[in-house]
C-alpha cells in the first residue's frame, strides 16, 4: 500500500488550518509504560508520533536522547519488542519509526519494512541514510507501504534541497540547526530559514525538528513551517520527574502553544 | 590499489552513511582532496613535511637475533621511528595540510591509544590550528601520558563518557562535534574508515609507507619481495599503507586483529561511523564493544577496503590473544632492543604463533609504532594492578596457541 497514509493525514489536518505536532519518544523508555506514554501523547494532541528504536551508536543524538536509548537498551529493548509494543497500541494517530540504518540493514530491507508495517507504523526515518544511500531501502519501503521521511539540512545547497524533498514521503523533516538533537534556550535562526526554504519549494508537509524545545518556540516556528517535531524536551520531562505524566502535560502545552491558546 | 567507485565503494563495502547535515561537507572534502592530490605544489609540500618534519623515510631493519630464534627471516618497517612515534603522522600531516588549504582552522579528531590524537595535536601546533581531541574515558586512564602530551601540544582533550568509553565512542563524539561545527571545522579521522572519501584519502596519505617498504625490500632481498607482509589492523591504516606497496606483487598479505576485536574474522557486514564494512554486532544490529589490551585496536569495525581485500581473497585476516601480544611485546624488546607498541605486537604475535608454517620464509612486519606509551600499562599488568588487569583478557585461547 503506497497510498501515503501519513502524508494524507498530515495534509488534511494542515489544509484544515491546524499546525502539526509530532513528539518523539524512545521505545522501551520508561521500561514499563512507554506504550502508555504514546497513548497519552496521542490524547494530548499529537498529530503523529515518532518512536525511536534504540541503537548503540546514535550519532545524530545529543545527551538527552542518548540517555533514554542507553537506559532502554540496558532494560532489554530490542526491535522485536518495540514492534510488539507498538502493535498493541490502540490509537488512531500515525506512527513514525526512527532508528539508525544498521538496525534496518541487519534485519534486511524487506523484513524490516514488513515488520514496521505489521506493527502498525506508517513511516520510517533513518537519519544516517542520506539521499545517495537511501535508494534501495526507499524502493522496498515504497512497495511495502512504508513512507520514508527524508531529512533536509541547513547545509544543503539550493540545488540539493529539491532532490531531497523529491524523495521524501510522509513529510519533509527540516533539521532546525547545524547540530545534533538536544534542548536549546533559543530558537535558532536557521530553523526559520530552513522552514521558509522548504516551504518555497514543496507542497509536502514541512515539519521542523532538532532544537525545538518550548511551546513558544514551536509557535514561532509554526508561523512559517507546517509543524514541529519535539524530542529531547519531551524526554527531558521524564528524566527530570521520573514520570510520564509530565511529558504528556508538556505535549499538551505544545499543542496549546501551536493552537495559540 | 585503485580509487573506490563513485559511491565510495571498494567492491560492496564503503559508501557514505552520514547524517544529511554532513553530506555537503563530505562532498566538499572529496573535491578538495582530489584537487590537492593532483596539484604538484601540494604534493611537494606534503613530501617536504614527511621528510623534514616527520623524519621519513623510515628505515627497514633486519632482525638477526629474532630470525635465528624463530627460524623465520624477519624484517621490520620502522614506523616507530617517525616523529610522534607511529605511522599516524603520515595521515595527519596530509589532512591538516588539506584543512589549511580548505581554509578550516579548527581540527577535530578522535583517538584510541592516543597516537592519532598526539599526531593531530602535533600537526595542529605546527600549522597554528585549534585542536579538539575526543578520547574514551577508559583510554584516558590507560594512556594518561598521551593525554598530557596532547595538552602540552596545546590541544583540548575531551573525555567521551558514553557506551564502552573507548575508541568507538570517541568516534561518535567526534562525529557529533563535526555535525554541529561542520562549517568551521575539519574532521581529521585517524584511520581508513568513515564515510567516503576518508578510507581512500587516508590510504593515499599512507601510501608512502608501502612505496618505501617495497623499494627497501627490493634492495635488501636482491630485487625480490618478502614472502609475507603482515600488519596489525584496528581501523586498518598502517596495514593498508604497507599493503599498498605489495598488493601487485607475489607477497602474501596478512592483517592481524585482536581476538576480542576481530571484525573481519567474524565476517558480518554492518554500517557504523559512515561506512559499510565488517562489523562486530549482535543479532539485532547493536554494535558490540571490542576488547583488546591495546587501546589502538579496541575497535569493533574495520576499514571497508580491508573487508573488500578479505572478500576477494587478496589478504587474509588472523586473530591473536592478549597473552600472545604481551609475550611478543617482551620478545622483541629483549631480542632486538626495540620496544614495540602493543598494536604492532599483534603482528609479531601472529608470526610467533605461526612460525612452523613460516619456517625459512621472509616476513616483513610493519612496526607501526613504538612502545613508550604502553610501558606503564604493561608494567602494571605484570605487577597485577587490578585496574590494569581490567584492560586485558587472559581467558581467551585460540586454536594452535
Ligand atoms: C602504533 C599503532 N599501530 C596501529 C594502530 C591502529 O590503527 P590502524 O589499524 O589504523 O593502523 C594504532 C592506533 O592507535 C597505533 O597507535
Whether residues B71 and B99 share a domain: the answer is no
Q: Which of A52, A53, A57, A172 to mutate to test the interface with B (most CBs of B within 10 A)?
A: A57
Q: Which residues of B touch A (CB under 8 A)?
A: 7, 15-25, 162-163, 168, 172, 175-176, 179-183, 269-274, 276, 279, 281, 283-287
B149 lies in some domain: yes
Q: Which of B24, B184, B284 to mutate to test the interface with A (most CBs of A within 10 A)?
A: B284
Can you give the CATH number for the domain in which B31 is found? 3.40.50.1100
> What letter does residue B195 receive in the DSSP assignment?
S
Strand B252-258 relative to strand B228-232: parallel, antiparallel, unpaired?
Answer: parallel
Write down which residue in B187, B220, B252 finishes a domain.
B187
Domain range spanning residue B174? Answer: 9-51+88-187
Whether residues B103 and B42 share a domain: the answer is yes
Query: Quick check: A62 and B176 CB within 8 A?
Result: yes
Whether residues B234 and B304 share a domain: the answer is yes
For B314-341, write each residue's pLDDT tens digit: 999 999 999 999 999 999 999 999 999 9
B311 lies in some domain: yes
Determine the Cα–Cα distance for residues A81 and A69; give it in Å rounded to an integer.
14
| Element holding B60 (H helix, E strand) | strand B60-62
Residue B358 Cα to ligand 1 midpoint, Å, equals 25
Residue in A15, A32, A47, A61 annotated catalytic: A61
Whether residues B236 and B309 share a domain: the answer is yes
Q: Is A166 on the interface with B (CB under 8 A)?
A: no
What is the pLDDT, as a whole number, of residue B378? 95
Whether residues B379 and B303 share a domain: the answer is yes
Nearest CA to B269 among B284, B279, B260?
B279
Nearest CA to A179 among A160, A207, A153?
A153
**Whether the Cβ atoms of residue B278 and residue B301 lie closer than 8 Å to each other:** yes
B401 lies in some domain: no
Whether residues B75 and B46 share a domain: the answer is no
B329 lies in some domain: yes
* Sign, Cα dihedral of A67, A47, A212, B275: positive
Query: What residues of B act catalytically?
Result: 63, 87
Closest-approach residue (CA) in chain A for B16: A133
For B134-149, write each residue's pLDDT tens digit: 999 989 987 888 999 9
Whether residues B307 and B233 share a domain: the answer is yes
Helix (H, G, I), strand (E, B) or coil at A114: helix
Determine the Cα–Cα distance for residues A109 and A118; give it in Å rounded to an integer.
14
Q: Is the pLDDT of residue B62 over 50?
A: yes
Dihedrals phi, psi of B363, to nearest 5 degrees:
-120, 125
The cell numbers describing B252, all together, are 602474501
Whether residues B273 and B141 share a domain: the answer is no
What is the pLDDT, as a whole number, of residue A3? 59
Give Cβ neighbours of residue B232 (< 8 Å, ≥ 6 apart).
B238, B239, B255, B256, B257, B297, B343, B344, B345, B346, B347, B366, B368
Using pLDDT thresholds of 50, 70 and 90, give the confidence band for residue B35.
very high
Q: Is A114 on the interface with B (CB under 8 A)?
A: no
The order of strands in the sheet holding B106-111 is B156-160, B130-136, B106-111, B185-187
Whether residues B40 and B80 share a domain: the answer is no
B398 lies in some domain: no
* Helices and strands in chain A, H and E counts: 12, 8
Give Cβ neighbours of residue B152 (< 8 Å, ≥ 6 apart).
none
Whether residues B81 and B157 share a domain: the answer is no
| Element holding A175 (H helix, E strand) | strand A172-175
ipTM of this complex prediction, to 2 decimal places? 0.96
- Is residue B373 within 6 Å of ligand 1 at its C-beta? no
Q: What domains are there in chain A, each with its CATH number?
A: 5-256 (3.20.20.70)
Whether residues B138 and B213 share a domain: the answer is no
Dihedrals phi, psi of B35, to nearest 5 degrees:
-65, -45
B193 lies in some domain: no
Whether residues B357 and B262 share a domain: the answer is yes
* Over residues B286-305, mean pLDDT: 92
Residue B297 Cα to ligand 1 midpoint, Å, equals 7
Query: Quick check: B272 and A57 CB within 8 A?
Result: yes
Q: How many domains does chain B have?
A: 2
Give Cβ neighbours of residue A217 (< 8 Å, ≥ 6 apart).
A186, A187, A228
| Catalytic residue status for A50 | yes
Residue from B80, B88, B298 to probe ligand 1 pocket by mutation (most atoms less than 8 Å from CB): B88
B137 lies in some domain: yes
B283 contacts in A (CB within 8 Å)?
106
Minimal Cβ distance to B172: which of A59, A70, A73: A59
B375 lies in some domain: yes
| Catalytic residue status for A61 | yes
Query: Quick check: B20 and A57 CB within 8 A?
Result: no
The cell numbers describing A63, all together, are 545527551
| For ligand 1, atom 12: residue with the closest CA | B296
Write down which residue in B152, B187, B222 finishes a domain.
B187
- Is residue B343 within 6 Å of ligand 1 at its C-beta? yes
pLDDT by 10s per residue, chain A, length 261 = 345 899 999 999 999 999 999 999 999 999 999 999 999 999 999 999 999 999 999 999 999 999 999 999 999 999 999 999 999 999 999 999 999 999 999 999 999 999 999 999 999 999 999 999 999 999 999 999 999 999 999 999 999 999 999 999 999 999 999 999 999 999 999 999 999 999 999 999 999 999 999 999 999 999 999 999 999 999 999 999 999 999 999 999 999 999 997
Q: Is the pLDDT of residue B399 over 80?
A: no
Give Cβ neighbours of residue B24 (< 8 Å, ≥ 6 apart).
A155, A156, A157, A160
- Is residue B265 within 6 Å of ligand 1 at its C-beta? no
Write down which residue in B160, B187, B214 finishes a domain.
B187
Amino acid at each position: 500500500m503506497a497510498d501515503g497514509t501519513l502524508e494524507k493525514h498530515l495534509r488534511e489536518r494542515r489544509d484544515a488550518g491546524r499546525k502539526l505536532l509530532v513528539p518523539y519518544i524512545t521505545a522501551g523508555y520508561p521500561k514499563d509504560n512507554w506504550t502508555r506514554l504514546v497513548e497519552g501523547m496521542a490524547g494530548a494532541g499529537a498529530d503523529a508520533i515518532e518512536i525511536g528504536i534504540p541503537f548503540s551508536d546514535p550519532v545524530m543524538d545529543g545527551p538527552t536522547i542518548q540517555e533514554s536509548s542507553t537506559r532502554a537498551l540496558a532494560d532489554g529493548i530490542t526491535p522485536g519488542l518495540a514492534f510488539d509494543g507498538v502493535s498493541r497500541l490502540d490509537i488512531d494517530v500515525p506512527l513514525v519509526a526512527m532508528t539508525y540504518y544498521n538496525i534496518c540493514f541487519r534485519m534486511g530491507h524487506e523484513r524490516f519494512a514488513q515488520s514496521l508495517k505489521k506493527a502498525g507504523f506508517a513511516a520510517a526515518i533513518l537519519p544516517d541514510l542520506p539521499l545517495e544511500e537511501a535508494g534501495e531501502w526507499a524502493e522496498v519501503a515504497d512497495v511495502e507501504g512504508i513512507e520514508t521521511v527524508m531529512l533536509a539540512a541547513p547545509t544543503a545547497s539550493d540545488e540539493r534541497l529539491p532532490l531531497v524533498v523529491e524523495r521524501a514521503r510522509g513529510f519533509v523533516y527540516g533539521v532546525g540547526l547545524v547540530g545534533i538533537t538536544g534542548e536549546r534556550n533559543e530558537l535558532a535562526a536557521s530553523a526559520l530559514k530552513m522552514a521558509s526554504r522548504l516551504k518555497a519549494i514543496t507542497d509536502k508537509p514541512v515539519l521542523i525538528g532538532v532544537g525545538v524545545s518550548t511551546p513558544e518556540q514551536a509557535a514561532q516556528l509554526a508561523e512559517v513551517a507546517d509543524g514541529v517535531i519535539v524530542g529531547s524536551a519531551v524526554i527531558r520531562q521524564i528524566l527530570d520527574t521520573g514520570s510520564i505524566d509530565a511529558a504528556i502535560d508538556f505535549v499538551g502545552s505544545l499543542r496549546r502553544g501551536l493552537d495559540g491558546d | 590499489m585503485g580509487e573506490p567507485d563513485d559511491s565510495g565503494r571498494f567492491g560492496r563495502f564503503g559508501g557514505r552513511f552520514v547524517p544529511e547535515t554532513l553530506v555537503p561537507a563530505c562532498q566538499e572534502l572529496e573535491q578538495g582532496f582530489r584537487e590537492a592530490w593532483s596539484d604538484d605544489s601540494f604534493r611537494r609540500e606534503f613530501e617536504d613535511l614527511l621528510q623534514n618534519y616527520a623524519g621519513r623515510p623510515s628505515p627497514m631493519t633486519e632482525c638477526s637475533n629474532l630470525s635465528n630464534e624463530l627460524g623465520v627471516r624477519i624484517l621490520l618497517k620502522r614506523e616507530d621511528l617517525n616523529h610522534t612515534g607511529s605511522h599516524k603522522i603520515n595521515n595527519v600531516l596530509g589532512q591538516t595540510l588539506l584543512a589549511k588549504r580548505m581554509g578550516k582552522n579548527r581540527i577535530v579528531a578522535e583517538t584510541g591509544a592516543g597516537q592519532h590524537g598526539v599526531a593531530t595535536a602535533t600537526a595542529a601546533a605546527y600549522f597554528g590550528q585549534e585542536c579538539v581531541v575526543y578520547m574514551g574515558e577508559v583510554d584516558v586512564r590507560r594512556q594518561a601520558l598521551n593525554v598530557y602530551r596532547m595538552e602540552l601540544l596545546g590541544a583540548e582533550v575531551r573525555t567521551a563518557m558514553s557506551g564502552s568509553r573507548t575508541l568507538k565512542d570517541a568516534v561518535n563524539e567526534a562525529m557529533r562535534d563535526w555535525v554541529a561545527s561542520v562549517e568551521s571545522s575539519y574532521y581529521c579521522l585517524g584511520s581508513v574508515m568513515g564515510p567516503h572519501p576518508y578510507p581512500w584519502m587516508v590510504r593515499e596519505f599512507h601510501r608512502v609507507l608501502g612505496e618505501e617498504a617495497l623499494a627497501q625490500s627490493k634492495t635488501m632481498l636482491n630485487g625480490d619481495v618478502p614472502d609475507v607482509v603482515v600488519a596489525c589492523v584496528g581501523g586498518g591504516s598502517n596495514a593498508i599503507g604497507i599493503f599498498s606497496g605489495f598488493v601487485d606483487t607475489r607477497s602474501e598479505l596478512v592483517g592481524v586483529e585482536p581476538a576480542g576485536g576481530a571484525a573481519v574474522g567474524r565476517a558480518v557486514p554492518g554500517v557504523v561511523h559512515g561506512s559499510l564494512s565488517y562489523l562486530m554486532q549482535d543479532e539485532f544490529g547493536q554494535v558490540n564493544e571490542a576488547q583488546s589490551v591495546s587501546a589502538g585496536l579496541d575497535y569493533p569495525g574495520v576499514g571497508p577496503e580491508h573487508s573488500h581485500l578479505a572478500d576477494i581473497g587478496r589478504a587474509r585476516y588472523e586473530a591473536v590473544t592478549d597473552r600472545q601480544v604481551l609475550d611478543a611485546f617482551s620478545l622483541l624488546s629483549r631480542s632486538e632492543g626495540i620496544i614495540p607498541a602493543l598494536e604492532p605486537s599483534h603482528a609479531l604475535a601472529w608470526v610467533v604463533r605461526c612460525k612452523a608454517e613460516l619456517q625459512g620464509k621472509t616476513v616483513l612486519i610493519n612496526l607501526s609504532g613504538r612502545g613508550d606509551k604502553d610501558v606503564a600499562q604493561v608494567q602494571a599488568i605484570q605487577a597485577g594492578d587490578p585496574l590494569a588487569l581490567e584492560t586485558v583478557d587472559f581467558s581467551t585461547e585460540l586454536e594452535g596457541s
